[in-house]
Amino acid sequence: MFEQLKEQPADKILALMQAYKEDPREDKIDLGVGVYKDAHGNTPIMRAIKAAEKQLWETEETKAYTGLAGDPVFGERMRDLVLGGTVDEATVSAVATPGGTGAVRQGFDMIRMANPDATIHVSDPTWPNHLSILKHMGLPVKPYRYFDSETGGVDFAGMITDIVQARPGDVILLHGCCHNPTGANLSVIEWKHVIEKINEVGAIPMIDLAYQGFGDGLDADAEPTRMVAQSCPETIIAASCSKNFGIYRERTGILMAVSQDPGKKKVTQGTLAYLNRQNFSFPPDHGARLVQMVLSDDDLREDWQSELESVRTGMLELRHQLADELRERSGSDRFGFLAQHRGMFSRIGCGPDKVEALREKHGIYMVGDSRMNIAGLNRTTVPKLAEAIVDVGI
């Protein structure tokens, strides 16, 4: 039987991690995988998470199963963090999932159950795992224009032209904030316009929210998701706790389905729990419990928010420093978009030959599509990167 299996393509981002590890150069710079790193290159456990973990160790009395949807309090706290009380709770179904990826996967599964003919419209480009999961599941996919490599911003006219081609019942997958891999995001006014078009064509928005708190702040980053959930008859939301709580390996995320018709909740909630049961039964609890504890305790929450805020502003400072260094060295404003982008990533917009030159000649590792993780930089490496970018002729 196993002889029937074929070799599967490797994840390019994860393969790059390995290549970086094997590079003996001491001054190499890792701008690959999307993991937050501090100025020393470490991915610390956040203070509030560590404190919650200690408290949990002291007080937890059982490791018996939770429920198929996870602990309901986790669901409530996450619903409030993401939706901020902007929609009636009677309209929100939610299940805990293994990470944001688990939420995305379960969301696609729900779509397939509800409407196997739905085409999923994805931004061009999008997170490669969206495409690989959709391909694996055999769901029809169609890209919509998104990134304008000339300006480093969003090709908004192209995006709208493509989105209105969707059929009723199709799904439009949107990054809630901090677009991965480009870093280019819609303005609030542009979001309003997208929502209008989605409703006009009768499509269903699905929002992947993996970086709430990494862009313009916790509420600002959730604002587009809230607008969508308030304005569309049905919304699917896949949110990750990996980055904003720094609990990557704990696999913590949530899938929410919002229907403006509260009569739908019983069946929708039941479907999400059913899908968890088919795929893994109970979702992981440890990370979800830590998140729930941090969000439920005023002191822990305040400390978490303040640490998250320093992470966010630290990345913004690096963006500004890099844009300034590049303005000086290139004598032009063509890299100004780096300061406009938000989140961990920016796509610099060069071809794979230049990405390779950065790696070979300068030991700078970015993903082949020229996506770089800003958090892989520090004040000292920013000028080195700027110099290398100009040196290889980007």
Q: With binding defined as CB under 6 A, does residue 104 bind ligand TYF? A: no
Among 66, 93, 180, 268, which residue interacts with ligand TYF (rule: CB under 6 A)? 180
User: What is the distance of C-alpha 257 from the center of its chain?
Assistant: 18
Closest approach of Cβ 173 to ligand TYF, in Å?
15
| Residue 85, C-beta contacts closer than 8 angstroms, at least 6 positions apart | none
Residue showing tokens 């799904």: 171
- Of 48, 51, 127, 369, the catalytic one is 127
Taking the least distance from each CB to ligand PLP, the nearer of 91 and 126 is 126
Taking the least distance from each CB to ligand TYF, the nearer of 13 and 364 is 13
What distance in Å separates the CA atoms of residue 364 and residue 216, rounded to the nearest whole number? 27
**Residue facing ligand PLP at closest CB distance:** 99
Closest approach of Cβ 373 to ligand TYF, in Å?
7
- Of 203, 210, 222, 357, the catalytic one is 210
Taking the least distance from each CB to ligand TYF, the nearer of 127 and 146 is 127
Q: Angle 233-237-240 (CA atoms, 0-180°, nearest 5)?
A: 170
Q: With binding defined as CB under 6 A, does residue 225 bind ligand PLP? A: no
Pairing of strands 120-124, 171-175: parallel
Site string (160-179) toward ligand PLP, x via CB under 6 A: ---------------x----
Distances in whole angstroms, Cα of residue 173 to Cα of each of 144, 170, 196, 304:
10, 10, 15, 29
Q: Which of 383, 278, 376 is nearest to 34 (CA)?
A: 376
Q: What are phi and psi of 222, to 5 degrees?
A: -90, -10
Site string (55-94) toward ligand TYF, x via CB under 6 A: ----------------------------------------
Write out the E strands in 204-358: 204-209, 234-240, 253-259, 345-347
Question: Which listed option, ligand PLP, ligand TYF, none, makes contact with residue 240 (CB within 5 to 8 Å by class)?
Answer: ligand PLP
Residues at the site binding ligand TYF, with contacts judged by CB under 6 A: 11, 13-14, 33-34, 127, 129, 180
The residues assigned a catalytic role are 127, 208, 210, 243
